[in-house]
């Protein structure tokens, strides 16, 4: 099994071709609050979970005068993300908490929006914009079964909160269930594994995805969703794009070995490939635009590109990868094989 990536990931700026793409598809919008604005907090305290353990997040506090302009602007961002900018809904919304995390590449702020009419709340994130992450979000949006709301504004990236049970918590607490449910869990993990590999999304350790559990007529249905896209097409090792190689996921792998044979696994892989193929046909022009941007961009060191090209060529027995010079060309070649 494999551990973490070799070194801390480099952050790549969003360059003009990608900016043009984001503007064309309504992802680039002036959001009134930049990432740097949220850094102007004057005090922070560690955020503990319900068991008193450190979450690696800090709750931050701002000067009251600054809050008078900051908080309404954040509420407006939420409206833009969720109600197409209709401000009529913002009068009963307010910012109830802002948390900051220095763990990870994007150093995100998490903004909690409270509905004062019923005390319900939702979140969104403000992060440092990174081209790798933007490509990851966009590929997730157009090739996976999941839609994602996000906006960019220069060096600022705003993302919706993806709800679900964290993968490590799910593995710890929810695998001891009926055989029927376990088989469905295994099926979804195989399909998730296939989705990540086909579009080269790496680093899917257990805490980088969440699991949706939906009660069904018999048992539950499960959907695994990636929540971290920093490692979109960055590392050079092929195995880094296959979740089953991470030791965090060993229990899911063991469960699959227990309940599935090779024929069943191939069936589920083919099902996911067919679904992705159908999505590619539906979004062909948008995908072509995105891949054109990626082919002009650098989102990984060249030595990692060359390593991944060689490993994919050996795995697929396909020399086409050896002629690829960047991660965009590698993804395009990968999609040709599966589409």
pLDDT tens-digit series, residues 177-222 = 999 999 999 999 999 999 999 999 999 999 999 999 999 988 999 9
Structure tokens at 76: 């407006």
CA distances from 106 to 9, 154, 217 (A): 10, 14, 40
Contacts (Cβ under 8 Å, ≥6 apart) of 135: 18, 229, 232, 233, 290, 293, 294, 297, 299
pLDDT tens-digit series, residues 53-100 = 888 899 999 999 999 999 999 999 998 888 776 777 778 899 999 999
Q: Are 221 and 214 in contact (CB under 8 A)?
A: yes
CA distance 82 to 77: 9
Contacts (Cβ under 8 Å, ≥6 apart) of 127: 35, 106, 107, 108, 109, 133, 156, 157, 158, 159
Paired residues of 58 in beta bridges: 46, 100
Predicted pLDDT of residue 7: 62
What string of H, E and C letters represents the secondary structure of 19-48?
Answer: HHHHHHCCCECCCCCCHHHHCCCCEEEEEE
CA angle (19 as vertex; 13, 20 as ends), nearest 5: 155
Q: Left (φ > 0), alpha (ψ -120 to 50) or beta: where does 278 sit? A: alpha
CA distance 51 to 66: 33
CA distance 174 to 268: 22
Predicted pLDDT of residue 338: 84
| Nearest in space to 200 (alpha carbons), one of 324, 44, 18 | 324
CA angle (130 as vertex; 128, 131 as ends), nearest 5: 160
Record the pTM: 0.93
CA distance 86 to 99: 26
Predicted pLDDT of residue 274: 96
CA distance 306 to 82: 41
Q: Are 168 and 210 in contact (CB under 8 A)?
A: no
Mean pLDDT, consecutive 10-residue segments, the chain of 339 residues?
61 95 93 93 93 92 96 92 76 93 86 93 95 97 95 94 96 96 98 98 97 94 96 97 98 97 96 95 96 96 98 96 96 91
Alpha helices in the chain (DSSP H): 16-24, 35-38, 64-82, 131-143, 167-173, 179-198, 250-259, 262-282, 284-295, 302-316, 327-338
């Amino acid at each position: 099994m494999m551990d973490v990536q070799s070194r801390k990931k480099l952050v790549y700026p969003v360059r003009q071709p990608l900016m043009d793409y984001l503007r064309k598809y309504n992802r680039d919008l002036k959001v009134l609050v930049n990432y740097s604005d949220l850094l102007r907090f004057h005090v922070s305290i560690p955020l503990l979970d319900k068991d008193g353990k450190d979450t690696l997040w800090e709750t931050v506090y701002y000067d009251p005068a600054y809050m008078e302009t900051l908080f309404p602007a954040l509420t407006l961002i939420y409206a833009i993300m969720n109600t197409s900018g209709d401000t009529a809904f913002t009068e009963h919304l307010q910012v109830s908490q802002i948390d900051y995390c220095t763990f990870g590449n994007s150093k995100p702020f998490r903004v909690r929006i409270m509905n004062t009419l019923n005390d319900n709340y939702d979140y969104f994130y403000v992060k440092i914009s990174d081209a790798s992450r933007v490509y990851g979000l966009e590929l997730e949006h157009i090739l996976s079964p999941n839609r994602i709301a996000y906006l960019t504004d220069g060096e600022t990236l705003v993302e919706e909160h993806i709800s679900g049970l964290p993968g490590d918590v799910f593995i710890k607490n929810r695998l001891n269930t009926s055989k029927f449910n376990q088989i469905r869990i295994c099926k979804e993990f195989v399909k998730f594994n296939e989705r990540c590999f086909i579009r080269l999304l790496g680093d899917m350790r257990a805490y980088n995805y969440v699991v949706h559990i939906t009660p069904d007529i018999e048992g539950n249905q499960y959907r695994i969703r990636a929540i971290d896209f920093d490692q979109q097409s960055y590392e050079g090792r092929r195995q880094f794009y296959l979740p089953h190689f991470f030791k965090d996921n060993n229990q899911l792998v063991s469960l699959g070995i227990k309940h599935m044979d090779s024929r069943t696994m191939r069936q589920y892989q083919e099902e996911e490939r067919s679904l992705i193929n159908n999505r590619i046909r539906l979004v062909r022009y948008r995908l072509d635009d995105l891949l054109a941007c990626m082919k002009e961009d650098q989102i990984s060191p060249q030595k990692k590109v060359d390593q991944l090209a060689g490993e994919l060529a050996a795995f697929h027995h396909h020399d086409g990868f050896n002629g690829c010079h960047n991660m965009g060309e590698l993804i395009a070649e990968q999609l040709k094989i599966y589409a």
